[in-house]
Structure 1
């Protein structure tokens, strides 16, 4: 049956049939499914008041609108289902152990540590691993996730346990949820002096949703005001009843700071695993698992921390991780030692991938490089189409409140670049959850790992987007391009500063009293060592001017290595000077900071009071 013509073109009319399309499909994709001419669907959309090209990726809403007009039902295929269908087309089954019971062997439990933001999760992992992670975290909060394996002795038998370290701030809910899904047991850390807090409940709900057994670590028992009994009572309300009260949840009182009863906690984890879980996997098949974290490493390229869930991963295997693929060049354990193979429940750092996968992407080993490339390319194309479909109408954050006052509904477009995929994903998830009513729509057009590039600025220029650099900076040309095109690029190192500022902007309240003004950049060409002053950087001033007694940051390969440095000494030949201009050479002393290398960039800036508009 034919539909009435649109602009003289006859169209096929549906009878309520269902058309399956992936996210970000184009009108051409739709036309193929219903055996129609794509140009005629463009005409239908024009009739409906929307100008869309035939090959452009369109949103789910647009596809729905078109389907309703043509009397079809449209079903948008979920990414998970699409991925399953993609792997099936290559005759690959993901998520199942091959063979029967006789192929399965015991594996270590995978444990996630959860709890309130400052109840001592990182310090607990610290005590377990005898290393110091806390000192390196901005704001003392875990910004990335990693995985570590430890050994403990239970009943005179050595047992291994794998820990997944998930970030603690509430902004990282998405990653924490995923941490629970890739996990066998959750350790819930509760401070004995604070008791149960909102984030404790949030973490508990994630663990329950993932249906994993919970061991409670009552931390800070050495602190004044500690009351472990009160914690047990509070958690009873949420269904966690201690063994000593007749329940089945093990509670262990610990002090991560003093290293008290850590062995008892590890023993509780092993006993809980033995009592309630059947932890076995086939170690003989091709490896499969999950990427826990990934980032770009200078000199090593894309590196990913992966957790093998079944099979054995070996150096030389060809693997696909999300939309990245490659042959495993080398594997490192959590202590940085080279390993040649990793069995079930073993976390390793993998080198050899073509690009940076996302945190939480699944990985699998395939027989041929060609198969790996095809799977990765199809996944990348799918992601790209979905991202294009989100794109729509350059504003700075400060302009936003003017637009709102004018009564216009405005869209704030963002491009997020960060130093690790987990952070970028958590940031995107947090920003998209900001709720400021219907006055403004927030969209993330693109997210990625690495320095802000010219391509990012290009995209921002064409879509009026604001670029957020999280622990990364723009490379030289990108900075100039952003200035030339008037693109707003903002840099942050702590996640809630981003959230607060974007939320303030969305509410039209952003009126900072001070702003950072870049004064100049200097490239380190040589390093001179002085017994009195430490390392002195021989530099060429690349842009602007460098002044003595101003603030500086050190950038290496696009990433910020050190913040809040001071230009304490400035010399031209043998003379002390107050400033050096662009194109001239000189010497810079950063005071007590000596970790400088040739090709590093020293970027200087000052905070200027900003007149209120």
Structure 2
């Protein structure tokens, strides 16, 4: 069979065999697999309308296109397969218990609580573990995943349940999906007075996709308008049929605020686990599991919350979690108490890693630190290549002119308090649709405070820096102010999404215009120890409105600008507004130079609609 040619370039001979390549592979990697010259592959792609260098990470589509032309079947290896092959090369098996049936012991169920925002997930977990976490969270919304164990009783025996608290807002879909994958049972919280909402459906879909049993907690049954029967009816549309209706899903009517039926919910979780699942693991092996979250602590360094899924994790173990490695120097539980050993289904915070792992990264214990470092380095290189390939825009010969022209681009650096939040925020931002004229690009993301290095990168690339629950360090703030780098701080995720979307649409800095509300003439001036200087006035036109802005005119000359109408009274009554022809008394903030005969003009600033 003659070797095929494209544009006069003779291609290596292929006979339909499969070539396995990792994500983000280069043409050099491809050439090594088929014993070809990388330069010839560059030439082939050039004739196919793709401009790619030999060492550049390329996308899956380009690899498959090249394979088709050369009569090879290109198989891009999934991240899971890549990881499995990597661990196989170190003779490490992941994802299965060692030993036989006799080595397996019963472990507690791992439960994920999901549902619509403001339906009471955090309040429920708060009631279960008898502590208060709601008040510390911005906007009452859970901003990152937490994990903890609680003890309860079933048939006179004390049983443990592990809870993973996944965020409820839709922007955290990526993290919530991961929460479902690392769980045994999903508890879907639905407010009895609100009904099934879009995020409720999304949570059900995640749980069903992960093939985990579902327990439904119908919350807020103490509120007026609560209708638990309606919730049961609505959920039948999504395949969740209550046991009393002949189905196999347990529904429990609860009130997290009033602590009603919480014990029955815990019992339902255990009964579902016993009936539907075989929850056993081998505690007598090297620990393996999943990272729930990671963050950078100022005093302790990188801290990872991990869930042990099999084996026992001990202080002193060499560990690799995602592309982070290290030795377990210390472990603490959800109450900050030191833990020496963590058994299956136990969540603990691990201190001693060299960097912050990502939410959802697998972790495992290896024999020595050197092996842990090698696995972490290989994973880091693989992720970097895949990232470069996904970010690189394909430039074909047809649109080369357009690519060379300057495009509107908003560059971002994202820093956050933990890896799951950073990933979820980036994921949500990249889904913003604003058309082809504007492009959003995240050039760096990381965990921890905003550093001088971040600011220097921002200066070079004309970047906006987003800080999510983190602040800039001292010298970084000075450098940013000196160089004019914009740093934006957020504590609620959808505020960040809305502002970036507004920036992309050119609406971040809206234009305002002054709208006159009314004019009043000062007839008397009173001094009050409580309120300050009060202007007793007659409204000449329009209206005087509390909290509006005012300017003081004396003989048609502006004496003071932008004064707040901070209190407004008509006789002894506090009022919101006083209309034309009526008398009133008001103060202009702390301003006291008011005289009889002065005119006060009030106005408000209104946003001008953009064309």
Residues 6 and 40 in structure 1, CA contact (< 8 A), matched pair in contact too? no
Q: Give the 5 Å matches for 1:148-297.
A: 148-297=148-297
Give 1:333-352 correspondences, 5 Å limit: 333-352=333-352
Match of 2:595 in 1: none
Alignment of structure 1 residues 309-324 onto 2, 5 Å:
309-324=309-324
Is 1:512 the counterpart of 2:510? The answer is yes
> 2-side partners of 1:147 and 1:260: how far apart?
23
1:19 correspondence with 2:19: yes
In structure 2, the partner of 1:501 is 499
2:472 corresponds to 1:474: yes
* Structure 2 SS opposite 1:199: helix
In the TM superposition, what whole-angstrom CA distance separates every residue of 1:198-217 from its partner, at most 9, and x where no partner exists? 11111111111111111111
Residues 48-57 or 343-352, more deviating:
48-57
Structure 1 unpaired stretches of 5+: 394-403, 515-607
Q: CA separation in 2, counterparts of 1:225 and 1:285? A: 53
Find the counterpart in structure 1 of residue 299 from structure 2.
299
Provide closer, same or farther for how the CA distance between residues 52 and 483 of structure 1 changes in structure 2, counting only shifts above 3 A: farther
> How many angstroms apart in 1 are the aligned matches of 2:147 and 2:242?
28
Contact 2:6 2:44 in 1 (8 A): no
Q: Which position in structure 2 is the counterpart of 1:550?
A: none
Distance 1:429 1:410 in 2: 20
Taking structure 1 as reference, are residues 265 and 411 closer, same or farther at Cα in structure 2, changes over 3 Å only? same
Q: Distance in 1 between matches of 2:236 and 2:52?
A: 57
1:430 aligned to 410, 428, 431, which one?
Answer: 428
Query: 1:68 and 1:451, CA in 2 relative to 1: closer, same or farther beyond 3 A?
Result: farther
> Does the Cα contact within 8 Å between 1:417 and 1:468 map onto a contact in 2?
yes
Q: Secondary structure at the match of 2:238?
A: coil
Number of the residue aligned with 1:326: 326
1:193 and 1:226 in contact (8 A); partners too: yes
Matched, 1:421 2:419: yes
Distance 1:143 1:307 in 2: 19
**C-alpha deviations, 1:108-151, integer Å up to 9, x for none?**
11111111100110000000111111011111100010101000
Instruction: Describe the shift of the 1:3–1:196 C-alpha distance in structure 2 as closer, same or farther (beyond 3 A).
Output: closer
Q: Specify the alignment match of 1:118 in structure 2.
A: 118
- After superposition, what is the alpha-carbon deviation per residue over 1:248-277, rounded to whole angstroms, capped at 9, x for unaligned? 222211111111221111111111111111
Any idea what SS the aligned residue of 1:63 has? helix
* Alpha-carbon distance in structure 1 between the residues aligned to 2:84 and 2:68: 28
Alignment-derived partner of residue 538 in structure 2: none
Residues 171-208 of structure 1: per-residue CA shift (max 9 Å, x gap): 11111111111111111111111121111111111111
Using a 3 Å threshold, how does the CA distance of structure 1 residues 51 and 219 change in structure 2: closer, same or farther? same
2:13 and 2:452 map into 1 onto residues whose CA distance is: 46
How do residues 398-413 of structure 1 correspond to structure 2 at under 5 angstroms?
Answer: 410=408, 412-413=410-411
Cα displacement string for residues 416-447 of structure 1 (whole angstroms, at most 9, x for unaligned residues): 21111111111122122233444444443332
Return the offset for 1:219.
1.1
| More divergent stretch after superposition (235-244 vs 276-285) | 235-244
Cα deviation 1:333-373 (Å, max 9, x = unaligned): 11111010011111111111110000000111111111111
Name the residue aligned to 1:490.
488
How far apart, CA to CA, are the structure 2 residues paired with 1:217 and 1:371?
45
Structure 1 residue 16 displacement after superposition: 4.5
Q: In the alignment, is the contact (CA less than 8 A) between 2:306 and 2:349 conserved in 1? A: yes
Q: 1:612/1:202 Cα in 2 relative to 1: closer, same or farther (>3 Å)?
A: closer
RMSD between aligned alpha carbons?
A: 2.9
1:133 partnered with 2:146:
no
Q: Which residue of 2 aligns with 1:519?
A: none
Aligned-partner Cα distance in 1 for 2:178–2:6 = 50
Task: Write the mapping of 1:522-533 to structure 2, written as runs, cut at 5 A.
Answer: none
CA contact (8 A) 1:390 1:445 kept: no
Give, in whole Å, the separation in 2 of the partners of 1:488 and 1:54: 37
Q: Which residue of 2 aligns with 1:105?
A: 105
Contact 2:510–2:608 (8 Å) recurs in 1: no
- TM-aligned CA distance change 1:64 to 1:52, over 3 Å: same
Q: Which protein shows a greater Rg?
A: 2
| Deviation of 1:44 (Å) | 4.5
Q: Contact (CA 8 Å) 1:326, 1:352: kept in 2 or not?
A: yes
Query: What is the CA–CA distance in structure 2 between the aligned matches of 1:420 and 1:181, rounded to whole Å?
Result: 19
> By how many angstroms is 1:480 displaced?
5.5
Cα separation, 1, equivalents of 2:486 and 2:87:
41
Preserved contact between residue 302 and residue 351 of structure 1 (Cα < 8 Å): yes
Shift in alpha-carbon separation, 1:105–1:472, aligned structure 2, 3 A: same
Q: What SS does structure 2 have at the residue aligned with 1:273?
A: helix
Counterpart position of 2:371: 371
Counterpart secondary structure, 2:509: coil
- TM value normalised by structure 1: 0.76
Cα 1:409–1:334, aligned 2, differ >3 Å: closer, same or farther? same
1:564 matched residue in structure 2: none
The answer for unaligned runs of 5 or more in structure 2 is: 394-401, 513-604
Asked whether the equivalents of residues 511 and 612 of structure 1 are also in contact (C-alpha less than 8 Å), the reply is: no
Displacement of 1:50 after TM fit? 5.5
Structure 1: distance between partners of 2:482 and 2:41: 39
Distance 1:276 1:496 in 2: 37
Q: 1 CA distance for matches of 2:329 and 2:378?
A: 24
